[in-house]
Each structure stands twice: as C-alpha cells, then as structure tokens.
Amino acid sequence: MTCKPLIGLNADFRAAARNVPAYSYIAAGYFQSIIAAGGIPVVLPPMDDPESIRTALDALHGFVMIGGADLDPRNDGFMLHPSVRPLDSLRETSDRLLIADIAERRLPVLGIGTGMQLLNVHQGGNLFLHIKEDLPSAVPHHDPQDPNHRHTLSVESDSLIGRVYGDGEIRVSSRHHMAIDEVAPGFRVTAKCPDGVIEAIESEMMDWFALGTQFHPECSAASALDIRIFEEFIDGVRDRMNAEDLRLVA
C-alpha cells in the first residue's frame, strides 16, 4: 500500500488589533484539495526561526505555498506601490524562510497566487506591481465585487498544466493585481491569460519538481479539472518518494 505523502501548508497571520487577539488561519480549500488528491495536509503557522522551519520540513514530502495579500516589494529592493497591501510582516518573513529552505533541499513545491510570485522572486525573477498600470491593455484579473471572478487561459500542451486542461476553452478563478514580469531562471511559462499575463510556471530543472499557478485551483469557484493540479502534484511527490526509496535500497 502506497503511503500518503505529508504535504506542508503555510498559514496566514493577523496581528492583534484592539480587543481581537492575534490569530493564524488558512482557507479550507487548500487542505481539502490536498486531502481529495490523496495527500495529508500539515499546516505550519508563521515562524521566524530557521531551525524550527528546517525541522518541520525534514518531516514533509512536499509543500503548497498558499495565496494571500501582497509581497512587500521593499524586501526585494523596490518602492512600495500605493496599490500594494502587504502581507503581515511575520507571515512574509516565515514564507521567505520557507521558500529558501524548500529550494535548497529541492522539496517538491506548488505555489498558488502569492506563493507562485514568491517562488519566482526567490529564484531570481521579478513582478509587475500593479497590472492596471504596468499592462494597461490587460483584461481584469481582480473584481472586488466578485470573489469568483474568472478569465480564460492559454496553456502549453507539453506541460503539467497542459496535461490537466487539455484542449478547448479554459476558465480559471482569478483575483490578483500583481503578476510575474521576468520569469526566474530554470522556470518556463506554461499558461498565460490571452492578454499575456503569466498564469503558471514550471521548473525545467531535473532535480526539482516545482510549479506555480497565479490562478486559484483551490477556491470554491474552481472547476472539476482544477483539482487535477493537486492530483498531478501529489503524483509527482509520490514519484520522488519512490525514487528516494529505491536509492536507499540500492
């Protein structure tokens, strides 16, 4: 019987305010999608201790970096745009420690929304800070009045995303105002909105199973096909587990 892989998830954080204590939280769609795909979710609260993060990752087979508010561009040497609503500083510190360790050990990773943006930035890419200004001809990628806003997608057939969606019109859930500008070395674009905005990237490195989606396959408006992204990810994690087992036996 194949063991179910342990898949880590970072969690969001909200600092204490007035009479409300600080708390950490995560949208249920993330861990429900992992369970449905055959994995066991393990939620990690924000931590700013590299040793604790290293110990936690030692026990995991893969990781999903969740979406959320915006990365603070000042952490990457850029000015703060007025449209940016930064992540809580504890969460961003924790997320950056996580992605650094994940990348170093080549742990399989799926980044979603902000998680994909962080994956790209950490690996040497950069971001558009506000699509409306940087790409004025782009279609809307965020509708404050409609959390289930969707747009079409064009995919590369020879990719994981291509295997998931195949041919025909694809519509995905979208809620972002930042986007990838330059893609990190070692990654390639595997899905775009017809306006050119990058919606998915995948690693081309033989030793690292890593991918990201700007759209949200875990949300309540996701299609039946979207869950297959998690299934493909879990399958890739299992392949790595099996390869490790064979290496140990040899």
pLDDT digits (tens, 9 = 90+) for 19-38: 999 999 999 999 999 999 99
Res. 90 pLDDT band, cuts 50 70 90: very high
Cα 35-101-47 angle, rounded to 5 deg: 75
If one looks up domain 6-249 in CATH, what number appears?
3.40.50.880
Tens digit of each residue's pLDDT (9 = 90 or more) over 119-133: 999 999 999 897 788
pLDDT of 232 reads: 98
